[in-house]
Structure 1
Amino acid sequence: MKLFSTERTDVYLLTEDLAEKFQQFLVTNKAKLAPFEPLRDEQYFILKNISERIKSSLKEFNERKSLMMVFTLKGEEKIVGNINFTNFVYGVFQACYLGFSIDDAHQGKGLMHESLKMAIKYVHEKYEIHRIMANHLPDNSRSSKTLESLGFKNEGYANSYLKINGIWQDHVLNSLILPESP
């Protein structure tokens, strides 16, 4: 299901009919993404398991707890990036977490910035989110620059924050504060 388009991308809700294309994205970028993600065994990349994770994410989507998106170049079918808004909290907090990754061949072209900009607007309007939090490894300058260009502010540093690539690693904490919905 297409959620929206940008100048150069089409952004979709990640659904089971996209499982094979998403598997291709994950397998193609396995080595590139490994230093930034939890350890992934071979089971993680099996189509059946990817389909199960998508099914689980759709349940959370229907419960308004998360939103998993993928994007392609406009008019094309190959997935070149993904954007995930997770752990939605409502009430007095109105916040969520953001994660994102892009195909190595498409890195550095501004596609992630373009897609994230519209995705943030979409989440703000559809979910009335006030705070989006996005954290990254201290040496991940690309994520740092992307977040900064979108208006995220550094809010601190967390020691031994997440177990990434099998090692507890520090993270830079960032957030984007959005105006109250009309």
Structure 2
Amino acid sequence: MIPDTHRLDAEIRLRPTVPSDAASLAVSLARSRAYMQPWEPIRPDAFYTEEGQRERLVALFGDRDAGRAAPWVLADEEDRAVGGFNLSGIVLGPLRSGTLGYWVDVEYAGRGLATAAVRLICEMARDGLGLHRIEAGTVIENAASQRVLAKCGFEEYGTAPQFLYINGRWRDHRLFQRILHDGPPKDLPTAAEG
């Protein structure tokens, strides 16, 4: 089981995303739109509205309920979402992997919050979800996100040419992974048992 909330600093905590986050997500994403533009797909204006975020969360919660995703937000002192972290594409069985994506509001960037949250999510993925590895990708030029991943123990393992359609064109990405543990999955037989 994944704990509900974790304090990252005096003002900010990491907690699971809830439906009522739609309004503050819309405000934070709209405020950070230009800041995040080089690293994000071009989104319709409706994405930056409460209704647009409500629709996005419905899909995200569907993936969460099916065991394919684990979404969190950074929440400020007034419980407003000021960043988002999502472990998506979760696969169990012998793979035990997920893909991490994240963003932090422009007003909270540069405070180490992404690093603290990614470290914590890695622990929760290992201990709460039983994952073996997490992967993440960044646009080649996104040095800030690459520093976060390196500080959190991710290793670069390759480059994916024209990986995602970001900011109006196909962009190459650096691919990273972190191996969370070397033990066997708790719910699968080991060689000695087989």
TM-score by length of 1: 0.92
Per-residue CA shift, 1:135-181, capped at 9, x if unaligned? 10111110111000000000011111111011001000100001136
Q: Is 1:6–1:118's contact at 8 Å kept on the other side of the alignment? A: no
Corresponding residue SS for 1:35: helix
Paired residue for 1:101?
103
Distance in 1 (CA, whole Å) between partners of 2:178 and 2:126 is 11
Corresponding residue SS for 2:128: helix
- The structural deviation recorded for 1:31 is 0.9
Per-residue CA shift, 1:100-126, capped at 9, x if unaligned? 111112211111111221122112222
Pair 1:28-2:31 in alignment: yes
Paired residue for 1:38?
41
Pair 1:177-2:169 in alignment: no
Paired residue for 1:135?
137
- The structural deviation recorded for 1:22 is 0.9
Distance in 1 (CA, whole Å) between partners of 2:80 and 2:131 is 30
Q: Is 2:25–2:81's contact at 8 Å kept on the other side of the alignment? A: yes
Number of matched residues?
180
The correspondence of residues 1-182 of structure 1 with structure 2, limited to 5 A, is 3-8=4-9, 9-73=12-76, 75-179=77-181, 180=183
Displaced runs of 4 or more, over 2 A: 75-80
Corresponding residue SS for 1:38: coil
Q: Is 2:26–2:47's contact at 8 Å kept on the other side of the alignment? A: no
Corresponding residue SS for 1:99: strand
- RMSD between aligned alpha carbons? 1.5
- The structural deviation recorded for 1:57 is 1.1
Q: Is 2:41–2:165's contact at 8 Å kept on the other side of the alignment? A: yes
Q: Is 2:22–2:50's contact at 8 Å kept on the other side of the alignment? A: yes
Aligned residue type for 2:51: K
Distance in 1 (CA, whole Å) between partners of 2:8 and 2:103 is 19
Corresponding residue SS for 2:157: strand
TM-score by length of 2: 0.87
- The structural deviation recorded for 1:23 is 0.9
Distance in 2 (CA, whole Å) between partners of 1:7 and 1:172 is 27
Q: Is 1:6–1:115's contact at 8 Å kept on the other side of the alignment? A: no
Task: Give unmatched runs, 5+ long, in structure 1.
Answer: none
Distance in 2 (CA, whole Å) between partners of 1:174 and 1:62 is 26
Distance in 2 (CA, whole Å) between partners of 1:35 and 1:142 is 12
